[in-house]
Structures are given as structure tokens and as C-alpha cells.
Amino acid sequence: MPGFSTRAVQVGQASDPLTGAVVPPIVLASTFQLDGIEGAPDRYNYSRSGNPTRDRYQEALASLESGAGAVAFPSGLNAEDTLVRVLTRPGDTILCGHDVYAGTGRMFTWILPREGRSTHRVSMANLDEVRTAFEETHARVLWLETPSNPLLELSDIEALSTVAHEYGAWVVVDNTFATPVFQRPIELGADIVIHSTTKYIGGHSDHVGGAAIFAPDLHLPDDGLSGSDDVLHEVRWWQNAIGSVPGAFDSWLAHRGLRTLVVRVQRSAATAQRVAEALTEVPQISQVWYPGLPTHPGHDIAARQMSGFGGVISFELDSPELARKVSESTQLLRLAASLGAAESLIEYPYAMTHASMASTTNPAPDKLVRLAIGLEDPEDLIADIIQAVEKAYR
């Protein structure tokens, strides 16, 4: 099999046989002419059910995550919602960590209970606590986000997958922050990987999307609605049934992002390491959270299961007011709620991405600032953050 970088550039990107174009054309057609009323099983008929541009992109995603197949969605949350509906039934429980993306937390806290599904929060760093939670809840799904958002907590995917499988549970890993460049959960025992492809995979702040990638030979304990017990088949059936498909242009944008994913992510992580180390020397900053720092509580796990530490850094100041002031005082880093793109971003999670969780038992820390490091020169980013901190403390 070709190497990772080769596959990122080549899979699903064969030259167009008609024109020789080295970038395959986007197929924008909503419908396709059939040879007969019943059509043919290997032909496209309607773009909700299948589209060549989307299929090429899904092939590339599956290859990079070592999966048997991938399903692209209009957003990361849509991918999560569809997965939950396939893997669980009313009355089932999902185990997840205390620190998760607020969109996921909002769905778990308010949406799923209305459907009879429950979520149980547990410390993923404590295997005994996870075992106890399985004993008490009989959870169907173990939901991991590693590194987590925004505290960058690390979960031992291999160890936790072993525990979950002992109890017959699915293991779903949100790999958005690490990307398959640095971490491939299926190779560590996970069943399903999810992404907000809006972030590093799209990579240019011009695309919204999500994806789920599936390990080989996943089977539902009972027949799915589609008549198949194959999980990948079932998710594809659900996607078509409820219409949760991305457009051809969004699929093309995300696939384009895969071609430069390796160099972008590696550059972002190298810069983030330098920025994180510099921030530990800033006296006004009380704590820096970055897996590449030996002081990070999950550093050893990250070093074992990741080949790089990612481009996201969080740090704490002495008060919420100071955190807000710093977030609003940078000049190069833009105040915006996303990550994974060419430009560096800064945000105040408590009142921005995680505002919906502020009144719950799992809010983002109100003294925390999150950085999404892009492709600028590290010296410029460090100087910008330091001037913002100094300005806030005047």
C-alpha cells in the first residue's frame, strides 16, 4: 500500500479519462439518465443516494483513517446525530468524558433525553471508573474526544477500546483535533471515527462538513432498518432516508483539503509547539494546556498514540475578565469560533463555542483562552499573544 502522504494526494484523484484533467471535475448533477426503469446497481441515479464527487472524497477519507468505508455529512454534528440513531435505541446510554465539544454536549444534554437516550459522564483517565460506569449503565457506546475541546484532555484509545469491547459497546472517537495525520483510532481498536471536516480536513475556513469512518466487519446486534446488520450499510441507508448529504461542491472542497492535509497539519503542530513553549514563560499566564508539553497530564498518552501533538493550545489567566480582554486584543490571531485553517484564531470558549454549556455541570473554564494555530510565522504569533496579554494586564 502506498504511504500516507501519497494516498492523501492520490486516492480518489485520478485524472479525468475524458479530458485528462489532473483534478477530477465536480459532478453537480442532481439526477442521472438511466438505461431502463429499474436502472443498474452500479450506476448513479439521484445525488442524494450517490454522487461521484462525494464517493471519491469518501474513498480518500476511508483510506487515510484505515477504515473499510466512510460516509460524508453536511456537518460534524449531523454525523454524530446519525451515528447515535444507528448505534442506540431509546433507553440506551452513552458514556462520554466531562470535556467535549459543546455542540456534542448540547446534543447529549438536551436532545437525546427527549428521545429516551441518556448520557453518563465519566473520567476517561480512570479505567476503573469507566468499568464501573459500564457495570451500572450497560452503556451501548463509549464516546471519546481525544484531544478534547477545549481542555485538550487525552484518552488512551487502545485501553479504553479494550474495556468497552469487554462490555459489548461501540467505541466512537472524535479525531478532529488530531487528524489521521497524527492519530488513527481504528488502528488502536476503535470502531468508528468522526470528524468535523470543517476544521483541518477542509482546512481553509470555506467549508462546513462532517464524516464518519468505519472499521471493517462492524455488525449490529439485531437487523437494522435497512434489512442489513452491517453498520456501514445501515448508516448509508439512514443517510439516504433522511437526506443528510453534503453537496458536491462541499465534498470537492474537503477532498481538495486532503491533498495538503499533511503539510498543513505538520506545520501547524510545529508552530504550536513553539508557541506553547513560549507561553509557559509568560508570567501572567497561569497554565498552558498543550499535549506536546511534558507538563501536560496526558503527554505520555499523546506521545504513545499520536505522531504529533496538533495545532490547538489553551491557556488560563487570572480572571474571566482578563481572558476576555486577551481574546479581544490580538492583531494577527482573529477572534473567531473555529480551528484548523491557514489563519490562526483565538477564542474565549466559555462565551463562544461552549456558551450553551455555561449553565450546566460541565462548562468550559471561564478563565480559559483557546488558540488555533495556523500557518503564520511562529515569532509573529508569539509576539501578538504577548502584546495582548500585556495590554490586558495594564
**pLDDT in single tens digits along all 394 residues of the chain:** 899 999 999 999 999 999 999 999 999 999 999 888 877 777 899 999 999 999 999 999 999 999 999 999 999 999 999 999 999 999 999 999 999 999 999 999 999 999 999 999 999 999 999 999 999 999 999 999 999 999 999 999 999 999 999 999 999 999 999 999 999 999 999 999 999 999 999 999 999 999 999 999 999 977 678 878 899 999 999 999 999 999 999 999 999 999 999 999 999 999 999 999 999 999 999 999 999 999 999 999 999 999 999 999 999 999 999 999 999 999 999 999 999 999 999 999 999 989 888 888 888 999 999 999 999 999 999 999 999 999 999 8
Whether 101 is catalytic? yes
Options 48, 85, 106, 274, the catalytic residue: 48
Options 44, 57, 101, 290, the catalytic residue: 101
Nearest Cα neighbor of 178 from 210, 217, 148, 136 is: 148
In sequence order, the 6+-apart residues with CB closer than 8 A to the CB of 92 are 117, 118, 139, 140, 141
Question: What per-residue confidence (pLDDT) applies to 109?
Answer: 94
Options 56, 140, 184, 199, the catalytic residue: 199
Kindly list the distances between the CA atom of residue 67 and the CA atoms of 12, 191, 216, in Å, as whole numbers in the listed order. 15, 9, 7
Whether 325 is catalytic? no
Options 174, 230, 250, 384, the catalytic residue: 174
Whether 391 is catalytic? no
Q: In the chain, what are the domains?
A: 4-258 (3.40.640.10), 262-392 (3.90.1150.10)
pTM over 0.85: yes
